[in-house]
């Protein structure tokens, strides 16, 4: 690109971190969030989240007693909200891995302010997602039958089933995300160990920090490990939602049996994940006064990623509709027409508005610079992505080949309670995380400071913008 005229400030990128910070003040500012007295709003927020978590306990307890008949699932719609919520949550998780791994490999330094937080979001979203398939099993206490272990029944899982692939993909994803997150936390845990005054905290952080002392030789192995983990997590994140899409695409149900599913699911996952990161970051940066680290430029970049992945998703919708017509298959064609005009048309058209129309506002710079607008659009996309999974799961199943096996699906109050409860689980974990662990990576932010630069003058150091 040609050099823009110097007088035009539109082309100047604002700095990633508001200037004026040093290694010491960055440490103080971020660790103060954890070490200072608990703010009052935290108690209020945690109380609400925990109340919702109790709703989950109640709903799951009742499910254990009565079985999944309390949900709205039945023939022909055997995959109701449980699977909708599973795909929704796991999709949300994908943005965390994308931000921490893919953007690291691509040298996008703006990721540094949001990666820790986004990774935590990934873990909690995967925890919520993991609940659903297990609860949906019918006999959830036998979930370990999903794993291959020598057993008295003398049988093994069916390796050719995408549902078994899913078990491996999701559990690998959960473990790898946890390790990636923890490795990133170690130097910050050491900083908290050295800064905190209470004995309990010092011991707790000290144990978690594993005796990290910042030795140059340790940093060398550490950085290698972190980079390798990023390289490993990148194909993993693509594989996870691909395998999730196989759960659908391998079936012969019209509306599921489609080769566009893997890429379109992965793009949708990133889309919804960025929307969730945005939904959570906007209030948190205001509450903790972290606008100096999570700047408008970060929000602007996230909005652009949302716009791009949103367009891929819309392309996916277009291909689905086109293939419905172009395949010449009457069931496929009926499926598309039924989605648009059948009993669930409200879901289809709301989805189009939420995911297709509203995010187009992000083309406007004015919208991308407006925090309230971004927040509202992010919420709308969250809703839209939930509706997308609802449309895929329910409209495909409720009208398949034989009209004699058609039926309708109505969620019950227990479906709602389980979903609301899982949001409670997610928020409770998130509140605990922001209270006890640094939500921004201190050691990585330090590397972005001008102070961190060494070497000959004129040579671009690590703190320089790429």
Partner 1 sequence: MRLYGLMVELSSPQELLDAVHAVKAEGYRDVDAYTPFPIEEVCEALGCPASRLPVIVFFGGLVGGLSGYALQAYTAVFDYPLNVGGRPLHSWPSFIPITFETTILGAALSAVLGMFILNKLPMPYHPVFNAPRFALASRERYFLAIQATDPKFDREATRAFLASLGAHEVTDVPA
Contacts to partner 1 by CB under 8 A:
22-24, 27, 148, 154-156, 158-160, 162, 164-165, 168-169, 172, 175-176, 179-180, 182-183, 187, 190-191, 193-195, 206-207, 210-225, 228-229, 232-233, 235-236, 239, 243, 246, 443-444, 446-447, 451-455, 462
Closest to partner 1 by CB, 149 or 346: 149
Closer Cβ to partner 1, 48 or 179, answer by number: 179
> Nearest Cα to 274, choosing from 369, 395, 173, 362?
362
Closest distance to partner 1 from the beta carbon of 444 (Å): 8
- The distance of closest approach from Cβ of residue 161 to partner 1 in the complex, given in angstroms and rounded to an integer, is 8
The minimum distance between CB 243 and partner 1, in angstroms, equals 6
Q: Helix 115-135 vs helix 413-436: angle between axes, to the nearest 10 degrees?
A: 150
Distances (CA, A) of 454 to 112, 218, 460: 20, 19, 9
Q: Which is nearer to partner 1, 22 or 341 (CB)?
A: 22
Tokens of 82: 């449980």
Minimum gap (Å) between residue 185 Cβ and partner 1: 12
Q: Which is nearer to partner 1, 222 or 344 (CB)?
A: 222
* Spatial separation of the C-alpha atoms in residues 349 and 351, rounded to whole Å: 5
Torsion angle defined by CA atoms of residues 8, 9, 12 and 13, in that order, rounded to the nearest 10 degrees:
-150
DSSP 141-187: GGGGGGS----TT-----TT-HHHHHHHHHHHHHHHHHHHHHHHHHH
Q: Are 177 and 97 in contact (CB under 8 A)?
A: yes
Residue with Cβ nearer partner 1 (244 or 294) = 244
Angle of helix 261-287 relative to helix 115-135, nearest 10 degrees, comes to 120
Kindly tell me which of 51 and 207 has the beta carbon lying closer to partner 1. 207
Query: 319 in helix, strand or coil?
Result: helix
* Smallest gap from residue 324 Cβ to partner 1 (A): 27
Shortest distance, position 219 Cβ to partner 1, whole Å: 4
Q: Write down the least CB distance from residue 2 to partner 1, Å.
A: 33
Do you find a cis peptide bond into 76, omega within 30 degrees of 0?
A: yes
Assess contact for 82 and 418: CB atoms under 8 A. Answer: yes
Nearer Cβ to partner 1, position 229 or 282?
Answer: 229
The answer to whether 353 and 410 have CB atoms below 8 angstroms apart is: no
């Amino acid at each position: 690109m040609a050099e823009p005229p110097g007088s035009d400030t539109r082309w100047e990128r604002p700095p990633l971190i508001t200037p004026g910070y040093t290694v010491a003040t960055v440490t103080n500012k971020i660790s103060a969030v954890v070490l200072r007295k608990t703010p009052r709003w935290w108690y209020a927020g945690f109380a609400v989240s925990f109340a919702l978590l109790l709703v989950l306990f109640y709903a799951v307890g009742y499910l254990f007693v009565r079985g999944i008949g309390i949900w709205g699932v039945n023939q022909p719609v055997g995959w109701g909200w449980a699977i909708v919520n599973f795909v929704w949550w796991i999709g949300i998780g994908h943005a965390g891995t994308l931000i921490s791994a893919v953007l690291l490999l691509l040298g996008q330094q703006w990721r540094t302010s949001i990666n820790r937080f986004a990774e935590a979001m990934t873990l909690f979203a995967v925890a919520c997602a993991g609940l659903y398939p297990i609860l949906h099993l019918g006999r959830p206490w036998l979930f370990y039958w999903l794993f291959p272990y020598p057993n008295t029944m003398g049988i093994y899982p069916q390796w050719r089933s995408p549902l078994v692939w899913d078990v491996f993909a999701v559990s690998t994803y959960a473990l790898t995300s946890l390790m990636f997150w923890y490795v990133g936390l170690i130097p910050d845990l050491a900083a908290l160990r050295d800064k905190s005054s209470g004995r309990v905290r010092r011991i707790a952080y000290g144990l978690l920090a594993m005796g990290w002392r910042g030795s140059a030789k340790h940093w060398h192995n550490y950085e290698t490990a972190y980079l390798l983990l990023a390289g490993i997590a990148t194909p993993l994140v693509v594989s996870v939602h691909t395998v999730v899409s196989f759960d659908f695409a391998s079936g012969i149900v019209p509306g599921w049996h489609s080769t566009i599913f893997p890429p379109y699911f992965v793009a949708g996952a990133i889309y919804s994940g960025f929307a969730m990161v945005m939904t959570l970051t906007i209030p948190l940066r205001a509450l903790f006064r972290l606008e100096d680290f999570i700047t408008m430029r970060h929000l602007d970049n996230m909005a652009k990623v949302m716009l791009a992945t949103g367009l891929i998703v819309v392309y996916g919708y277009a291909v689905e509709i086109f293939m419905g017509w172009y395949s010449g298959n009457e069931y496929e064609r009926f499926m598309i027409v039924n989605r648009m005009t059948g009993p669930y048309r409200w879901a289809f058209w709301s989805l189009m508005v939420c995911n297709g129309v509203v995010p187009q506002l992000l083309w406007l710079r004015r919208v991308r610079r407006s925090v309230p607008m971004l927040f509202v659009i992010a919420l709308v996309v969250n809703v839209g992505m939930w509706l997308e999974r609802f449309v895929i799961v329910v409209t495909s199943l409720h009208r398949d080949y034989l009209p004699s096996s058609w039926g309708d699906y109505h969620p019950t109050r227990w479906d709602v309670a389980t979903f609301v409860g899982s949001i409670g689980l997610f928020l409770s974990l998130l509140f605990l995380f922001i209270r006890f662990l640094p939500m921004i990576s201190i050691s990585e932010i330090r590397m972005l400071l001008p102070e961190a630069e060494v070497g000959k003058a004129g040579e671009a150091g690590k703190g320089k913008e790429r």
